[in-house]
A and B are shown apart, each in its own frame.
Chain A
Amino acid sequence: MYDVVIVGGGPSGLVSGMFSAETGANTLIVDRKVEIGTPVRCAEGVGRDPLERIGIKPKERWIASKIEGIRLVSPGGIEITAKGSKVLKGKAGYVLERKEFEKYLAEMAIRNGAEIRLRTTVLGAKRENGFVNLKMKCGGRVYYEKARIVIAADGIESRIARELGLPTTLKLKDTESGAQYEMYFEAEDPSLLYFYFGSEIAPGGYAWIFPKGESTANVGIGILQVLSKGRVLDYLDKFLELIGADKRKVIEINVGGIPVSGPIERSYSDNLLVVGDAARHTDPLTGGGIGNGMISGMIAGKIAGVKSQERKTSSKDLKEYEDKWKSEIGKTLERNLKIKEFLLELKDEELDAIAKVIKKKGIEELSVMGILAPVIREHPRLLFRIKDLL
């Protein structure tokens, strides 16, 4: 019997494990893959703020580059660049070397006492007399493992929460299909993150260039398949042509889904907490999942660790988890979901009009509201719906 079993060894699961084990709880992290950190399936960007909140100091080993600004490119090609301390206001971020980053998180979890079990899939989960019985498969061997509390950190799939009765099924309209090449690419300014918008380039999403130093970059795209005329890799190849990148210089291909539904209705029940992408804590506007996942993982790990040892594992005992993540990241998630829904309805020409205003007025701060505030002031009527959200 484990106090806490965490299903999924991505950033959310590993941070859950770090904090659960730290409380002295007997903690196990299982992952279906053969290696922590791969495949990446992610643009690898993370803000400095969530790292600070979970108490992790940046290490050279897992930082590919420091972000000093952004460039937004509208459907009609209007470029807006914001860079430097005036807009950063301490909010800088990093492009990670995520394979290294996750291994580092795993080391921290292990140092705190957590166990890790790789190439192990959880086939099913059932509640029995106050604990959860997990049916595991490792290679050809099927066996069972018991947990007082399960933390579901199984990412986009989010199958474990559903096995235990919490609905997490994504709708098609809430699922971005993502594809990315890590490739040899010399960005004009490697300290910027580049975002490209438009219904031709990336229907229902955006395309990005996240430089990882002088000559390598993550070049990727997220689209809503329901609004698209083809497959995501075809859109990515077209984007490569647009930016003059050479497909023969690709060194890694990543493919995956990004939940943009906003958080699941309920993220806890008897013996269960749901974190990260599995709880749909991904930012619905940016698609960023690492930061929020680590924050919900930290909260879940602490609570699961303490409560499992106190044998207080009922739904009522675990509600604290939902209250806490809501107070940390709930408001931003809610607001960004509304902004996403608003932007999705805009035509390319309207996005260009907004881009013109932003370009004229300038970006005040590298945040969603820092970008949109000048537009709202200039065109309160055009954007009255966003204004209502403030």
Chain B
Amino acid sequence: MKIDLEECVRCGTCSGVCPQNAIILTEFEVLVTERCNDCGICEKVCPLGAIEVP
């Protein structure tokens, strides 16, 4: 999955729905750990449409 950091405001909603608990937000970055399996749930919930899953 890819996050457009210019759209993202680090609100954390993606992290809350991630079944793998794979998304870690810091003040400046969004870290996606290797647990991510591109399930696409984060893409559906992102309020800004900043996430794209292939």
Report the Cα distance A169→B17, complex, angstroms. 5
A363 is an interface residue with CB less than 8 A from chain B? no
Which of A32, A171, A226, A231 counts the most B-chain CB atoms under 10 A from its CB? Answer: A32
Known: A163-B21, A177-B47. A33 touches B11 (CB 8 A): no
**Beta-carbon contacts under 8 Å, B1-26 to A:** 9, 11-13, 15-19, 21, 23-26
Contact A158 B16 (CB under 8 A): yes
B47 near A157 (CB under 8 angstroms)?
no
Determine the chain A residues whose CB is within 8 A of the CB of B26 once the complex forms.
32, 119, 121, 137
User: Nearest residue in A to B17 (C-beta to C-beta)?
Assistant: A170
Chain A 35-53 interface 0/1 with B at a Cβ cutoff of 8 Å (1 = within): 0000101000000000000
Please tell me if the beta carbons of A170 and B47 are within 8 angstroms of each other in the complex: no
A287 interface hit (Cβ, 8 Å): no
Give how many B residues have a beta carbon under 8 Å from the other chain's beta carbons: 23
A175 with B27, Cβ < 8 A, contacts A231-B48, A255-B11 known: no
Q: Which of B12, B23, B46, B47 has the most CB atoms of chain A within a 10 A radius of its CB?
A: B47
B27 contacts which chain A residues (CB < 8 A)? 32-34, 119, 121
Residues in chain B near residue A162, CB distance under 8 A? 21
- A75 → B minimal CB distance (Å): 23
A-side interface residues, number (CB < 8 Å): 34
- Report chain B residues within 8 Å CB of A170: 16-17
One of A32, A159, A177 near B21 (C-beta < 8 A)? A159
Residues on A with C-beta less than 8 A from B53 are none
Q: Given the complex, which residues of A lie within 8 Å of B24, measured CB to CB?
A: 121, 123, 159
- CB of B23 to closest CB in A, whole Å: 8
The reply to whether the CB of A113 lies closer than 8 angstroms to some CB of chain B is no
A259 near B16: Cβ-Cβ < 8 Å: yes
Q: 14 A-B contacts, Cβ less than 8 Å apart?
A: A123-B24, A137-B26, A156-B13, A159-B24, A163-B21, A175-B13, A178-B47, A231-B48, A233-B48, A255-B9, A255-B47, A256-B12, A256-B47, A257-B13
Interface residues of chain A, those whose CB is within 8 Å of chain B, are 32-34, 39, 41, 119, 121, 123, 137, 155-159, 162-163, 168-172, 175, 177-179, 225-226, 231-233, 255-257, 259
Residues of B within 8 A of A (CB): 9, 11-13, 15-19, 21, 23-27, 31, 41, 44-49
Given A158-B16, A177-B46, A233-B48: 4 more A-B contacts, CB < 8 Å? A157-B16, A168-B16, A225-B44, A257-B12
